[in-house]
Amino acid sequence: MLDAVTRFARAVDALSTRVGTAAAWLYPVLVVVLIVNVLLRYGFGRGSIELEELQWHLFSAAFLLGYAYAYVADAHVRVDVLHARLSRRTRIWIELFGALLFLFPWSAILSYYAFDFFWRSWRLAERSSMPSGLPARYVIKFVLFAALALLALQALAVAARSALELRRGREP
């Protein structure tokens, strides 16, 4: 049983890391889109609704898909001044309860509603409200759902790893 829990935590960590690494590549693409949009607008006097919307889609996707990776890499927001003063065991307990009582329920509930948000958009074949905007608005709504679902999985993986470490008496 412990091996299965360990494999689950490692698999989720690997998935979050792969998704986060891939999402990081959206930032250079975003920079290129921004530069092209600025050149078109200020250099040639031609604004582009498609590029404007693509900018916020790219930024949103990169930001959202990086959530779980930030948790894996321990780069999330934490009150380090207090955290550093606590014992190792207390920090593990806080991580366990924080993941189970706060992060998992929050991200699971939001992912549930995000899926409905995506599904309604998909069924309607929703597109931008602007005539020249991007088609398939449901794509970014799916990214919202996927990012929150991955964060919920990552919360379970962190909780599992913390529970294992408490059982073993070692630091994660």
Find the mean pLDDT for residues 80-106. Answer: 85
What's the pTM?
A: 0.87
| pLDDT, position 158 | 93
Instruction: Count structural domains, the chain.
Output: 1
CA–CA–CA angle 149, 61, 133 (5° rounding): 125
| pLDDT, position 86 | 79
Q: Are 12 and 50 in contact (CB under 8 A)?
A: no
Bigger pLDDT: 102 vs 168: 102
Span 103-157, pLDDT tens digits: 999 999 999 999 999 999 999 988 888 888 888 899 999 999 999 999 999 999 9
How far does Cα 138 stand from its chain's mean position? 17
Find the mean pLDDT for residues 54-61. Answer: 95
Q: Which of 81, 70, 79, 54 is nearest to 140 (CA)?
A: 54
Joined together, the tokens standing for residue 101 give 């009582």
| pLDDT, position 167 | 85
Reported confidence tier of residue 172, pLDDT bands at 50, 70, 90:
very low
SS3 of 120-134: the string is: HHHHHCCCCCCCCCC
Torsion angle (degrees, nearest 10) of CA 134, 138, 143, 145: 160
Span 38-57, pLDDT tens digits: 999 998 889 888 999 999 99
Domain of residue 158: give its range: 2-168
Find the mean pLDDT for residues 56-73. Answer: 94
Residue carrying the six token digits 């590549």? 25
